Structure 1
Amino acid sequence: MTTETIPTALQLRSLVKPEGVLEVTLARVDIALPTDDEVLVRIEASPINPSDLGLLFGAADMASAKVSGPPLAPVVTAPVPAAGMKAMAARIGESLPVGNEGAGVVVRAGKSQAALALLGKTVAVLGGAMYAQYRTLPAAQCLLLPDGASAADGASSFVNPLTALGMVETMRREGHTALVHTAAASNLGQMLNRICQKDGIGLVNIVRKQEQADQLKAMGAAYVCNASAPTFLDDLTAALVATGATIAFDATGGGKLAGQILGCMEAALNKTAKEYSRYGSTTHKQVYLYGRLDLTPVEFPVNFGMAWGMGGWLLFPFLQKIGPEATQKLKQRVASELKTTFASRYAREVSLAEMLQPEMIAVYAQRATGAKFLLNPAKDLESPADF
């Protein structure tokens, strides 16, 4: 097929202006017909993940955001502090599409067998710019959903499921046998619990509130530690002794928690050590920071010997590292367990225009547990283009 232009469609875009203002708009963009190995997907569901919020709002002060324009074409503006402008330097003046993943129906396909096989099918897609009514992308970036699965079922098929599976795969590849996860009551944390229960892997969950601990325990989690409890460090050490966990994935990214985890890992290892070493345990202890819910500096006393590591972990570099064959195996597991292990729950479904309403931003921008939103770009805007 040619790449002729077809009717425009709406796409959400984020711009940081040189004068220190964030501007989020709904723009009309041209959509190219798919080439031989591509498909055109009508996006019907896309999750609002924390990683999406980082691109959507950047370092802007969303508490000071203002909305103007008509109801179906709102414009959100918010100031960006001077310190935030330094962090945003690489994107200043560049209008960026938002949305890592989504799902929808393939409405046009190129000539290749792989593309034509998806025509009319509901697929999950990964490739950015998913906060839009339509998305053209390679057929290879689509995951065919099981019969009976809706776009909403498959909207979160990549970021959270592959992150959870990637953590378990990293644990195995680095020689650990159990793991620790923070912010564990999140949608991702609940998936990780189901994976570990299904695979027989020891998992220590760290949460901030007792109601979150109660929620995870009701879901079958064996070890849940409340970071706000006065007995937190003792509880964590006991859970580490019981599981033998020596690798952790920390979503908070700042503050004292990463150091506390390493310290408790050392304390747990010392409880079972057969001889004293002035250099601490020789067992390697590892904490990976994969989020920045806490923007303060990482603080830790070095009370965990010399066999330890702290670093960053991101999904897409990990997938590149393990290669396409191993990545495909993870994707196929997601597809086969879409409505069980990898099921996602959403607090609310919103349209593109509703997503930019101040009252909606005030809720989903908090990234609170149980407040995950699902975007439906086809909802209550206008009739979809005829393809």
Structure 2
Amino acid sequence: MSTDFTDSHTTALQLRSLITADGRLQVSLEPVPVPEPADNEVLVRLQAAPINPSDLGLLFGAADLSTLQAGDNGDLPTITARVPDAAMKSMAGRAGQSMPVGNEGAGRVVRAGASPAAQALLGKTVAVIGGAAYAQYRAVPVEQCLLLPEGASARDGASSFVNPLTALGMVETMKREGHHALVHTAAASNLGRMLHRICAKDGIALVNIVRKPEQVELLRSLGATHVCDSSASDFLPKLTDALAATGATIAFDATGGGPLGGQILSCMESALSRRGEPYSRYGSSTHKQVYLYGRLDARPTEFRNDFGMAWGMGGWLLFPFLQKIGPEGVAKLKQRVADELSTTFASDYAREISLAEMLQPDVIAAYASRSTGQKFLIDPAKDLPALPGL
């Protein structure tokens, strides 16, 4: 094993989330041993990690953030909150387990295992995925790394996995299932703008659904052709027009709850009939699909089946998709991300914070709001107290 002796620390900090059996959330910074990489692993000193919506579910679980209380454990901050009794059933599987948080990040490889693939990354800046990224150090298998282009910083590559691979996965799912254009909700998000750039580059028609007039203007300023505001009184006819123009028959819905998924299916059916499909009492024979991939709307999913029998509604998650396409398919997607890191897959951040600042109630209120244009980036080395061995 090769070692960079400037990184000979034995102890480092990691953010962990615990829900107790009696319904209490505890989030804390914990000293943990710096891991030793196995033969096909590398040790990464993390320098940047984004806060994605998917991270918030593990970080806070079903806790009621209005009950949030700040505390400390010596020099290290903590927070606690109550989990409503009605929500504890959904938390039963993680009760009593202290869990590391953070899907992805980027940093410098400071130690490497014995394998040639691991040795080749020593001293390089890489993006990583696999959890526990809200920490100062992380040991990860080589296949969970992405070597960043020469000159790219950890900040540039911090969001190289979740949003880019999700957006590419949506397009790949569309192609594999025989569709030719797609619909995306919460389309003004970082992910939504990334998907717009992919579709523009690849010549794929995209219908963007947003929730505010200013988000319509934002996407139009980026060159988006079809943008529908779900808060507008003419949303449904405008959506039907866009679907008829594009022929989109697959949608990815980040809201999850409420009526939007069903409305999209209904408008797809109307658009297909407008495009000249023959009448059938069973509705259009063209399959229409809505995938729910988020839960921005916590209400139950509601729909009225006025869209025939050729339809589907189900869940879509990134990691099962990546398992489905296999290592070769994943490698192809990762290479595209690396090749277009500063263009198609560039991410913007509203604010950079430390691990300690993550546990300040006013900062939590900002990043937990999931507001458009308010993506936060964590610098795990920023403003933290010294620990023995550091």
Indicate whether 1:326 and 2:298 are aligned. Answer: no
Indicate whether 1:99 and 2:96 are aligned. Answer: no
Indicate whether 1:26 and 2:52 are aligned. Answer: no
Indicate whether 1:354 and 2:371 are aligned. Answer: no
| Distance in 1 (alpha carbons) for counterparts of 2:75 and 2:213 | 41
Normalization by structure 2: what TM-score?
0.96
Q: CA deviation at 1:382?
A: 4.6
Contact 2:277 2:284 in 1 (8 A): no
| Superposed counterparts of 1:175-186, under 5 Å | 175-186=178-189
| Distance in 2 (alpha carbons) for counterparts of 1:34 and 1:53 | 28
Aligned residue identity for 1:104: G
Q: Residue 81 of structure 1 aligns with which residue?
A: 84
Indicate whether 1:269 and 2:272 are aligned. Answer: yes
| Distance in 2 (alpha carbons) for counterparts of 1:334 and 1:323 | 17
Q: Residue 219 of structure 1 aligns with which residue?
A: 222
Q: Which of 43, 47, 61 is the aligned partner of 2:46?
A: 43
CA deviation map 1:188-245 (0-9, x unaligned) = 0000000000000000000000001100010011100000000000000000011000
Indicate whether 1:301 and 2:284 are aligned. Answer: no
Contact 1:6 1:33 in 2 (8 A): no
Contact 2:75 2:385 in 1 (8 A): no
| Distance in 2 (alpha carbons) for counterparts of 1:236 and 1:199 | 22
Q: CA deviation at 1:111?
A: 1.7
Q: Residue 90 of structure 1 aligns with which residue?
A: 93
Q: Classify 1:385/1:263 alpha carbon distance in 2 versus 1 (closer, same or farther; 3 Å).
A: farther
Q: Classify 1:304/1:345 alpha carbon distance in 2 versus 1 (closer, same or farther; 3 Å).
A: same
SS at match of 2:76: coil
| Distance in 1 (alpha carbons) for counterparts of 2:160 and 2:210 | 24
Q: CA deviation at 1:377?
A: 0.3
Q: Residue 250 of structure 1 aligns with which residue?
A: 253
Q: Residue 123 of structure 2 aligns with which residue?
A: 120
| Distance in 1 (alpha carbons) for counterparts of 2:388 and 2:79 | 26
| Distance in 1 (alpha carbons) for counterparts of 2:284 and 2:65 | 45
Q: CA deviation at 1:64?
A: 1.5
Normalization by structure 1: what TM-score?
0.97
Q: How well do the aligned residues superpose, as a CA RMSD in angstroms?
A: 1.7
Indicate whether 1:313 and 2:316 are aligned. Answer: yes
Contact 2:77 2:359 in 1 (8 A): yes
Q: Residue 163 of structure 1 aligns with which residue?
A: 166
Q: Residue 145 of structure 1 aligns with which residue?
A: 148
Q: Classify 1:71/1:159 alpha carbon distance in 2 versus 1 (closer, same or farther; 3 Å).
A: farther
SS at match of 1:288: strand
SS at match of 1:283: coil
* Runs (5+) with no aligned partner, structure 1: none
Q: Classify 1:129/1:165 alpha carbon distance in 2 versus 1 (closer, same or farther; 3 Å).
A: same
SS at match of 1:282: coil
| Distance in 2 (alpha carbons) for counterparts of 1:74 and 1:267 | 54
Q: CA deviation at 1:275?
A: 2.7
Aligned residue identity for 1:116: Q
Number of aligned residue pairs: give it.
Answer: 386
Q: Classify 1:350/1:290 alpha carbon distance in 2 versus 1 (closer, same or farther; 3 Å).
A: same
Q: Classify 1:31/1:213 alpha carbon distance in 2 versus 1 (closer, same or farther; 3 Å).
A: same
Structure 1 stretches (4+) deviating beyond 2 angstroms?
382-387
Q: Residue 208 of structure 1 aligns with which residue?
A: 211
SS at match of 1:147: coil
Contact 2:112 2:122 in 1 (8 A): yes
Q: Which of 13, 17, 35 is the aligned partner of 1:14?
A: 17
| Distance in 1 (alpha carbons) for counterparts of 2:75 and 2:266 | 52
Q: CA deviation at 1:141?
A: 1.3
SS at match of 2:319: helix
Contact 1:6 1:32 in 2 (8 A): no
Q: Residue 194 of structure 1 aligns with which residue?
A: 197
| Distance in 2 (alpha carbons) for counterparts of 1:40 and 1:110 | 8
Contact 1:266 1:305 in 2 (8 A): yes
Q: Classify 1:68/1:144 alpha carbon distance in 2 versus 1 (closer, same or farther; 3 Å).
A: same
| Distance in 2 (alpha carbons) for counterparts of 1:55 and 1:187 | 20
Q: Residue 234 of structure 2 aligns with which residue?
A: 231
| Distance in 2 (alpha carbons) for counterparts of 1:39 and 1:72 | 30
| Distance in 1 (alpha carbons) for counterparts of 2:74 and 2:188 | 35
SS at match of 2:345: coil
Aligned residue identity for 1:365: A
SS at match of 1:254: strand
Q: Residue 57 of structure 1 aligns with which residue?
A: 60
Aligned residue identity for 2:300: P
| Distance in 2 (alpha carbons) for counterparts of 1:339 and 1:71 | 41
Tell me which moved more, 243-252 or 271-280: 271-280
Q: Residue 109 of structure 1 aligns with which residue?
A: 112
CA deviation map 1:148-193 (0-9, x unaligned) = 1000100000000000000000000000000000000000000000
Q: Which of 376, 379, 386 is the aligned partner of 1:376?
A: 379
Q: CA deviation at 1:305?
A: 0.7
Q: CA deviation at 1:385?
A: 9.5
Q: CA deviation at 1:35?
A: 2.2
